[in-house]
Amino acid sequence: MPSAIEVRKVPIHSVSDASELTALIDEGVISADRVIAVIGKTEGNGGVNDYTRILADRAFREALVDKGADPEAVKEIPIVWSGGTDGVISPHATIFATVPDEDVVPSDEPRLTVGFAMSEPLLPEEIGRRGMISKVAAAVKVAMERAGITDTADVHYVQTKTPLLTIDTIQDAKSRGHDVFTEDTLTSMDVSNGGTALGIAVALGEIEMPDDADVLRDRSLYSAVASCSSGVELDRAQVVVVGNARGVGGRYRIGHGVMTDALDADGIWDAIRSAGLDLPERPRTSDLDGRLVNVFLKCEASQDGHVRGRRNAMLDDSDVHWHRQIKAAVGGVTAAVTGDPAVFVSVSAAHQGPDGGGPVAAIVDLG
């Protein structure tokens, strides 16, 4: 049986700040050697060269080691940073740690559980193709098993980090006689995220194995629980499966919903309800009563350039990339629901939720 989970959201005060993590450890809320995953937002540009992710990663790992965690074990902790806090989104981290058996609040009801796995190395020529999809799907199944989840319906959030393409990796593929999905390194972020999402969808039985030609083209193929980020920090898929299991105990529960478009606040409320909060038909932020830990969303500019029948210029804008515009827009909608700008809103949602929308996961404290 996996361990019960403690989960806390903390602000990040600068790009290399981990002071709120160390405060949680000093206060005895969590133990450094029990941290199993971190998912957060950093304030960089969110692009290929967003090195704030590396700075934050280093700061959090060094803080755990300084507080007594084994350095070798800390290297293996999945720490997933999504760069870019456009608009009102505030830099923050959500920290997951196991709870000692003697401190667990017992419950036979579904409670939060987390599993982690790393895929086999992903070659540059596999990114956005069946090779990637198959390797990601295999890793998701391992993470599910480690989380103690046997029913895919109990998976509500799969956060991944995968490599995107760089000039160096593109040249590496060519030197071995292979081509790559795209030679545009920024576009490769969408490619990597989309291929990863399809791997999640395959693992969870949401779709059958797609063809290479379906990636970024057939937007009817998607996962309702995938949240995929990519960067230059690694060469494998880092997979964190978050769901519910009976018997693990603890105070927290996760649920999910889907935003059908960039303005669909009801999709966020649906995720919070799914996590177990009893809300009125037309809820307000005050109804959350401090019980919402965090929400995790992916967003995407609709391929037809419209939202609810109204045209927008995001996809035609040569000054500000649509990644930044849609992230800021959905971040504002999300913060209006939660009343807290420290929300995890990540862009590049190909095959993650329907076109123009995206999946939403919510973690609540049931007490």
Active site residue ranges: 161, 229
The dihedral built from the CA positions of residue 318, 323, 326 and 331, taken in this order, carries a sign that is: negative
In this structure, what token pair is assigned to residue 118? 């790393």
Which segments of the chain does DSSP mark as H helices, in order?
Answer: 19-26, 52-66, 71-75, 130-146, 167-175, 187-203, 265-274, 322-338
Using CA atoms, how far residue 361 sits from 16, 99, 183, 254, in Å, is: 27, 22, 32, 7
Reported as type and span, the H/E element at residue 11 is strand 5-11
Give pairs for 25-33: CB < 8 Å, separation 24+: 25/67, 30/6, 30/95, 30/97, 31/97, 31/100, 32/63, 32/64, 32/67, 32/68, 32/69, 33/68, 33/69, 33/70, 33/73
Mention every residue, 6+ apart, whose C-beta is less than 8 A from residue 105: 4, 249, 250, 251
Does residue 293 sit in helix, strand or coil? strand
Dihedral sign, Cα of residue 207, residue 209, residue 210, residue 216:
positive
